[in-house]
Amino acid sequence: MSLLEQNPVLRELLTTRIARTPSGEAVPLDSFLDATHAEALFRHIRAQRPQVAVEVGMANAISTLSILTALEENGGDGRLVSIDPNQSTQWRDCGRAAVTRAGLSARHRVIEKPDSLALPELLAAGTRIDFAYIDGWHTFDYALVDFWYLDKMTPKGGVIAFNDCGWPAVTKAIRFVETHRRYCELDVGLPQSYDRSLSLVTLLRKLKHRRLGDYWRRREDRYFRKIEEWEPRWDFFAPF
């Protein structure tokens, strides 16, 4: 069965584009993961079978429900921690309400703090994670800090995924992953798509020195498996 067949709450959210507060008030779904990316996330969690997952950014709970539905199907004690400082304010607890309606609250914990505070606390508590999904504040510094802390909690074999990879800042953070840590990219069944945002003249000029992927940003979600517990020496630097 597909993800939307398994979770009627998620199917309703994506079909109607309406989220609901805990009191039942309808709210337009103005920020969400599309069905294709949600299905890929669900399939990956089913296959990887993580025990502890963390997502940065919850909003209306599309990614949340995708992960939780897979954890429920996997059985066992798999659980998800969602970090969202604006869940009860900007998002009016619509995400929490959707998880409750889907009957998945027992596997779920929400930390309503900025990721720059919540992630160090999880690390200090000795948290070890198997999977992480980064979909928070889309500036380079926040995306990089999210990865940096999550990497510290991820053992060899764990997976860290990025949403909204077509954003320039997220692309830049991914280049750090590729140059400053030891990860390999996974094929999760999403077709590659590119953001052709540069003029032809600018692209040709830059391509004299750099690879195509540096300028035509990939937009699909990208997943990376940690292949080695490695950090560079104190004075290391590689262009990224």
Closest CA to 59 of 103, 13, 4: 13
The pLDDT tens digits of the residues spanning 84-119 come to 999 999 999 999 999 999 999 999 999 999 999 999
Task: Specify whether the CB–CB gap between 18 and 44 falls below 8 A.
Answer: no
**pTM of the shown model:** 0.92
What's the confidence (pLDDT) of residue 198?
Answer: 55
27 found inside a domain? yes
Please state the length of the chain: 240
At 148, which helix (H) or strand (E)?
helix 140-153
Closest CA to 203 of 218, 213, 215, 217: 215
What's the confidence (pLDDT) of residue 75?
Answer: 96
196 found inside a domain? yes
237 found inside a domain? no
Burial bucket for residue 209 (CB in 10 Å: 0-12, 13-18, 19+): exposed
Structural domain boundaries, residue 53: 3-226
What's the confidence (pLDDT) of residue 83?
Answer: 98
Task: Specify whether the CB–CB gap between 159 and 151 falls below 8 A.
Answer: no
238 found inside a domain? no
The dihedral over CA atoms of 37, 110, 8, 129, expressed in degrees to the nearest 10, equals: 50
Residue numbers of the chain with a pLDDT score lower than 70: 196-216
What's the confidence (pLDDT) of residue 208?
Answer: 62
What's the confidence (pLDDT) of residue 210?
Answer: 56
What's the confidence (pLDDT) of residue 165?
Answer: 94
231 found inside a domain? no
CATH number at residue 36: 3.40.50.150
21 found inside a domain? yes
Q: How many domains would you assign to the chain?
A: 1
What's the confidence (pLDDT) of residue 193?
Answer: 86
